[in-house]
Amino acid sequence: MPEVLERPVPRQRRKRGHLEAMPEGRPRLFAERPGQVRLIPCNACGGMQFTRLFEKESSLRETFQVVRCKCGLVQVNPQPDLKAVMPYYAESYFKKRTDRGYDNYFSEALRDEIRRVFTLNLMDLKFFEYEAKALESGNNRSLDVGCAAGYFVEYMRERSWRAQGIELSRAAGTVARKRGLDVTIGDFLTSAEMIPSTYDVVSFWASIEHMHDPARVLRRAHEILRPGGRMLLSTCRYGILARIRGKAWRYMNVPEHLYFFTLRGLAKMARKVGFRVVKTVTYGSGMTTKKDAGRVYETIKRYADPTVKFLNQGDMMALHLEKMS
C-alpha cells in the first residue's frame, strides 16, 4: 500500500506559506552543487496531503520522489528549485536524448517531424478555423513559451503570424536566435517584454510540465492575451497508460518533468483562471517511434496509436483554450 505523506505538526507556529524541508534531512541529491529540494504545497489545490507513488532515478543518477495529491495532481515532491534542475538542461539534453527516440533535437529530420505533429495537433484542435479569421482581422501576434530551438515560432512566422518565442535554456535559445527568429532567452514569468493584453495566441508545446508553477503560468498567459485570444497547450497526460507503466512510463522523466496532469485536471485549472475549453484531443499509445523497430512493433504501433486516440486514452494531450473577456 502506498505511504500517505501528511504535513507534520510543527513544534512552533510557522508563518503562512512556509515550505518545509525534505523529511529525513538533506539527501545526496544536490549535495555538491547549488539548489534546494523542498516539500511544497500542491500547485493545483494548495494542499499538503500526498500519496507516495514511487521513487525514480534521474539521468544524473539522483533520486526523486513522485507523489499524487489528494486532488489528483501527480508531481515531483519534494521538488527541486530552478537552480537545482538547470544542469539537466545543458546542451547534452537536446543532443543526446535517445530514450525519447531521437539523437539530436537540432537535426533537420527532427524539426520536420515536430512540424508534422504541430500540424496534426492544430487540425485536431480546430485551430486553423480561428487562424483564418485572426489573420484576416490583423490580430496575428503569437508567442511560443518554452520554444526551444524555435520550431513553432518559425512555423507560425511562415503562416503570416508576427511570431515570437521565449526560452529559459540559453543553449536552445541561442540556436533559435542564430536561425533569425525573434526569441527571448529568459523566464516567462518575470520577463518585462511580455506586455498584458498584447498577444492573440500563446502556446506551450510540451513545456508546462517542466515549469515550477503551472498555475501562475496559466494566469500569466491569460494576462498577456487579448480578450478572445487563444492558448494552445500540449503536455504528457497522466491516464491509464501512465498508471499501468508506472516509473517505466515514457514521459516519467524526472526532474525535467515536474508535473503530470490529467486532462480533466488541467482543463479545470485553465477554467479557474478564466479560459474556456474550445477543443481537446489525446493521442499516443505509449509506443515511442524507434529507428530500428521490427515489423511486429511497427504493425502494433500503427494500429495502437489511432485506437487510443479514438478512445480518448492517449498519453499525450493538447488543448485549445479561449480567454474569456
Find the domain containing 221 and state its range. 92-323
Residue 36, C-alpha cell as written in the block: 534546494
Q: Is residue 179, in this structure, part of any structural domain at all?
A: yes
Domain co-membership, 187 together with 314: yes
Query: What's the burial of 112, exposed, middle or buried (CB within 10 Å: 0-12/13-18/19+)?
Result: exposed
**Beta pairing partners, 260:** 74
Nearest to 107 by CA among 149, 147, 167: 149
Q: Which of 58, 80, 102 is the last residue of a domain?
A: 80
Query: What's the burial of 268, exposed, middle or buried (CB within 10 Å: 0-12/13-18/19+)?
Result: middle
Q: Is residue 23, in this structure, part of any structural domain at all?
A: yes
Domain co-membership, 142 together with 243: yes
Q: Is residue 85, in this structure, part of any structural domain at all?
A: no
Domain co-membership, 74 together with 96: no
The CATH number given to whatever domain includes residue 107 is: 3.40.50.150
- Measure the CA dihedral 303/308/309/315, to 10°: -120
**Residue that is written with C-alpha cell 504493425 in the block:** 299
pTM: 0.85
Interatomic CA distance for residues 277 and 321, integer angstroms? 5
Q: Give residue 268's region: left, alpha or beta (phi > 0; psi -120 to 50).
A: alpha
Domain co-membership, 101 together with 233: yes
Per residue of the chain (325 residues), what is the pLDDT tens digit? 444 454 444 444 434 333 333 444 444 555 556 778 899 999 999 999 999 999 999 988 899 999 999 999 999 999 999 888 888 877 666 666 545 444 677 788 888 888 999 999 999 999 999 999 999 999 999 999 999 999 999 999 999 999 999 998 888 899 999 999 999 999 999 998 889 999 999 999 999 999 999 999 999 999 999 999 999 999 999 999 999 999 999 999 999 999 999 999 999 999 999 999 999 999 999 887 777 778 888 888 889 999 999 999 999 999 999 999 7
Domain co-membership, 98 together with 247: yes
Q: How many domains does the chain have?
A: 2
Taking residue 84's Cβ as centre, other Cβ atoms within 10 Å add up to: 19
- Identify the H or E element spanning 284: none
Domain co-membership, 156 together with 298: yes
Residue 191 near residue 168 (C-beta atoms within 8 A): no
Kindly report the CA angle at 147 between 103 and 304, in degrees rounded to 5? 55
Q: Which of 38, 53, 80 is the last residue of a domain?
A: 80
Residue 242, C-alpha cell as written in the block: 501512465
Interatomic CA distance for residues 60 and 56, integer angstroms? 11
Domain co-membership, 256 together with 125: yes
